[in-house]
Structures are given as structure tokens and as C-alpha cells.
Amino acid sequence: MADGIRAVLWDFGGVITTSPFDAFNRYEEARGLPRDAIRQINARNPDSNAWARLERDEIDAAEFDTLFAAEAAALGLDLAGREVLSLLSGDVRPRMVAALDACRAAGYALGCITNNARIGHGAGMAGNENQSAEIAAILARFDHVIESSKAGLRKPDPRIYELMCETLAIPPEHCVYLDDLGINCKPAAALGMQAIKVTSEGQALDDLGGLLGMAL
């Protein structure tokens, strides 16, 4: 295996599926809201805001709806939390799924670390049963999946990455980690992983393929 790499660890939303941020921006445009308003709300008090608490399963969707609306109102925005939750489920990226299969065939361990919430259908927060089944089939490819809503931990808390390494029995320095958020890549890199910030599907697969010495 290339450069001692033994495991490839993946974020889910924004990596295996399209980013919810695209859906956020479309919603903001349709509502006449400032671009990235939703992300601005989520950036305030990022460890204790409604979003963080939902992903650690400390509040339910109804509580999130109320708390998120209050956080939006503090910024002068009229925005219901329940409407944001409806935007979270992205579309599967087939090339990413093919890359999972290629990594598996090459002998790499596979892990998924996802910040999610107990909404929708299944770990991918799918909007319907068919999509949930498709996502479940993808998640079955991983040796281990850590969901923030079940673990009570969420990225970028370093402990969630350490938990994955402990479960796989593979040290961080032998792992590659892919995430579409730089704030989530930083703890992985600090632990010794080779972190890839995903800005596009093609870029991510090129970068991963380069590290693994594979065409993806």
C-alpha cells in the first residue's frame, strides 16, 4: 500500500453525496436571503448552537426549529429551522461510490465519520425510503461508521477521529481523511492523518488517487 496508508476515512454529506451548502444557497436565493446566511448562523457559537446540539442528539428536531429560528432572528433573519432540515439530504455521487469500491478492492480499510441528526430516513437523513435504501447500501461498504447523533461527539472534536482509529486499530498516521470542510480536516491532520479538503468530486478523486497511487 502507498506510503504506509492502510485506511481511507470519509465524510458523507458533501463528499459521498453532493453538498447541502448548494441546497442552502438555492434556498437563500429563492427566499431573498443573503448568500450563506445559513452557514453564518451555524458559524456562531459552533460548539453550543442549535446545529451542534442537534448533531450530538441533545435536542430533537422540534427544539432545533425553535432555537435555530431564535439564532436567525438575532442576526435579523426570518428563517425556520425545520425548513433548513429539509435541505440536508444530497444526491449520491456515483464516482465516489466507485472509488469506495476501488479502495476496498485494493485492501484499504474504510471508515465513515459523519455529523448527522436523527431526522429523515437513516444515517444519511434521506428524504424518502428509496434514497434511504440507496444510502444504506453505500454505508454497508464501510468497515465502521461513526454518526455524531449516536456517538454524542461531532467533528471537529478530535475524539471522534481517535474513536475511528481505535475501532479500526489503525493509527492516524496510516489514514487518509476526506471532508468538504477545512475546519474538520484540521483535527485529522493534527493527529497525523493525510487530510484532503474536498472542493469538487474530480479534485478529491485526483488527490486521493495521487496519495494511493491509483486511478480513481
Question: What gap in Å lies between CA 100 and CA 216, rounded to an integer?
Answer: 9
Cβ neighbours of 62 (radius 10 Å)? 10
Question: What gap in Å lies between CA 206 and CA 80, rounded to an integer?
Answer: 38
Q: Which fold has domain 20-85?
A: DNA polymerase; domain 1 (1.10.150)
Cβ neighbours of 116 (radius 10 Å)? 23
Three-class HEC string of 152-206: CCCCCCHHHHHHHHHHHCCCHHHEEEEECCHHHHHHHHHHCCEEEECCCHHHHHH
Write phi, then psi, for 195 (nearest 5 degrees): -100, 135
Question: What gap in Å lies between CA 158 and CA 11, rounded to an integer?
Answer: 14
Sequential pLDDT tens for the chain (216 residues): 667 999 999 999 999 999 889 999 999 999 999 999 999 999 999 899 999 999 999 999 999 999 999 999 999 999 999 999 888 878 899 999 999 999 999 999 999 999 988 876 666 565 677 777 888 899 999 999 999 999 999 999 999 999 999 999 999 999 999 999 999 999 999 999 999 999 999 999 999 999 999 999
Alpha helices in the chain (DSSP H): 20-31, 37-43, 50-55, 61-74, 81-85, 94-105, 129-139, 148-151, 158-168, 182-191, 201-212
Would you state the pLDDT for residue 87? 86
Domain boundaries, the chain: 2-18+90-212, 20-85
**Residues 97-109: tens digit of each pLDDT:** 999 999 999 999 9
Which three cell numbers, joined as nine digits, stand for 142?
A: 464501510
Picking from 201, 215, 207, 204, the residue whose alpha carbon sits closest to that of residue 90 is 201
Q: Which fold has domain 2-18+90-212?
A: Rossmann fold (3.40.50)
Cβ–Cβ under 8 Å, residues 59 and 53: yes
Helices (H) and strands (E) counted in the chain, each on its own, are 11, 5
Write phi, then psi, for 26 (nearest 5 degrees): -65, -40
